[in-house]
Amino acid sequence: MNVPAPATAPAGFAPAATEEHATAQPGNPDDRATKRQRVLEILDAKGHDSMLLTSHTALTWYLDGSRMHISLAGDPIAALLVDRSGEHLITFNNEAERLAAEELPPGVELHMVPWHGQLTDAVGALAGPGEPLAEAAVAAELRAARQPMLPGESARYARLCADAARAMTDVLSRATPETTEFEVASALAARIVAAGAEPLVLLCSGSSRSAFRHPLATHAPLGRRAMAVVCARRHGLVANVTRWVRFDVGTPEELDAEERIAAVEADIFAATVPGATLGGIFAEIQAAYARHGFGADQWTLHHQGGPAGYAGRDPRATAATGDVVVPNQTFTWNPSGPGVKIEDTVQLTVAGTTVLTLDPRWPASDVNGLPRPLTLQL
């Protein structure tokens, strides 16, 4: 099956132009007010007057999409002190001008330390009496505060997820057996960056490397079958998607495994309902592998996903994770088996589960009412 490229897309692997996302910008005042109230409720419950946010996940969530990084591999370039009087962003003097001009939401006070200093140097004077509550001390409470997505961030997330899915279609529909894994990864990166996002994870494996579940790209050609994975971040939110392409009809074993892994995922979606715990869903994941012929130990060979949003997984689900599923929460489950994997970012609403990483051009089948991706056959 050939997937037509958009009429505006250039040939080959050049990045396609993207539209301006004017209707889904960060810094929604109503969303920010709700987030502040959630943090104040944590302070009330803990008997503290201030909290210091220091991670990318917490900062981008609370500031509603502001970019707090320079290096994708580095620590945040700011810390945020939230107290009962307001919000105080501490950053280095060489970052302050740009943050104030381009990233800082209204009402947040900006404070500087020298570029060679420490962000925590300014905390004591700002916090007043009493030690600020450390982010690590309320990790579970902050996760719970992030889980129900608000209207503004839900709109931004849906746009990002659709862009990531379109990038996959644009790139993989142009691939050939001779295309290398690095060529796929670089073409995906170009499209993600052109969409105003950051490619946090880019994986690709051709037929010679299909045994690897986290395949960093190499110069190997795709061969007869390939997998690509993208985790793209924009305004702090991370979209996760996996797609497969093949250049023949597939073997009976591959077709059977693809159908069975989709059945495993369907069981996971059925278990992901408001009020369920992540640990309970994880137990269903373990049972689903055995139920669909993958073996009871398959879950031990790769993480299974979990809630998504301001982190790739927030958190990864395990048998010991007690977080409770709530409406408007987003998830990326990624069951996998030998030579197969399925992964999309979805949102759970009162109306049910909605697939966010969806491109109508990509071939799909209906599984329990949801469009689930098939392998693109070229």
- Evaluate whether residue 249 is within a structural domain: yes
Q: Which of 223, 226, 235, 179 is nearest to 203 (CA)?
A: 226
- Evaluate whether residue 346 is within a structural domain: yes
- Evaluate whether residue 4 is within a structural domain: no
Q: Say whether both 282 and 177 belong to one domain.
A: yes
Q: Say whether both 225 and 114 belong to one domain.
A: no
Task: Compute φ and ψ for 157, nearest 5 degrees.
Answer: -65, -45
Q: Say whether both 116 and 168 belong to one domain.
A: no
Give the pLDDT of residue 199: 98
- Evaluate whether residue 244 is within a structural domain: yes
Length of the chain in terms of residues written: 378
Give the pLDDT of residue 128: 79
Q: Say whether both 97 and 222 belong to one domain.
A: no
Domain of 229: which CATH number? 3.90.230.10
Residues in CB range of 196: below 8 A, 6 or more apart: 18, 21, 234
How many other C-beta atoms are found inside a 10 Å radius of the C-beta of residue 191? 25
Residues in CB range of 374: below 8 A, 6 or more apart: 258, 362, 363, 364, 365
Q: Say whether both 307 and 371 belong to one domain.
A: yes
Angle between helices 29-46 and 139-146 (to 10 degrees): 150
Q: Say whether both 90 and 199 belong to one domain.
A: no
- Evaluate whether residue 215 is within a structural domain: yes
Structurally, the chain folds into a number of domains equal to 2
- Of 146, 171, 197, the last residue of a domain is 146
Q: Residue 203 burial by CB count (10 A; 0-12/13-18/19+): exposed, middle or buried?
A: buried
pTM of the model: 0.93
Q: Say whether both 81 and 174 belong to one domain.
A: no
- Of 146, 171, 201, the last residue of a domain is 146
Residue type present at position 225? R
Q: Say whether both 89 and 201 belong to one domain.
A: no
- Of 98, 125, 146, the last residue of a domain is 146
Q: Say whether both 282 and 317 belong to one domain.
A: yes
Task: State which residues form the domain around 367.
Answer: 151-377
Angle between helices 252-271 and 278-291 (to 10 degrees): 150
- Evaluate whether residue 16 is within a structural domain: no
Structure tokens at 317: 């689900």
Q: Say whether both 38 and 182 belong to one domain.
A: no
- Evaluate whether residue 3 is within a structural domain: no
Q: Residue 239 burial by CB count (10 A; 0-12/13-18/19+): exposed, middle or buried?
A: buried
Q: Say whether both 286 and 226 belong to one domain.
A: yes
Give me the tens of pLDDT residue by residue for the chain, a chain 378 residues long.
344 343 333 334 444 444 444 445 678 899 999 999 999 999 999 999 999 999 999 999 999 999 999 999 999 999 999 999 999 999 999 999 999 999 999 999 999 999 999 999 999 889 878 899 999 999 999 999 999 999 999 999 999 999 999 999 999 999 999 999 999 999 999 999 999 999 999 999 999 999 999 999 999 999 999 999 999 999 999 999 999 999 999 999 999 999 999 999 999 999 999 999 999 999 999 999 999 999 999 999 999 999 999 999 999 999 999 999 999 999 999 999 999 999 999 999 989 999 999 999 999 999 999 999 999 999
Q: Which of 290, 286, 285 is nearest to 270 (CA)?
A: 285
Q: Say whether both 59 and 108 belong to one domain.
A: yes
CA dist 234 and 155 (Å) reads 12
- Evaluate whether residue 22 is within a structural domain: no
Domain of 122: which CATH number? 3.40.350.10
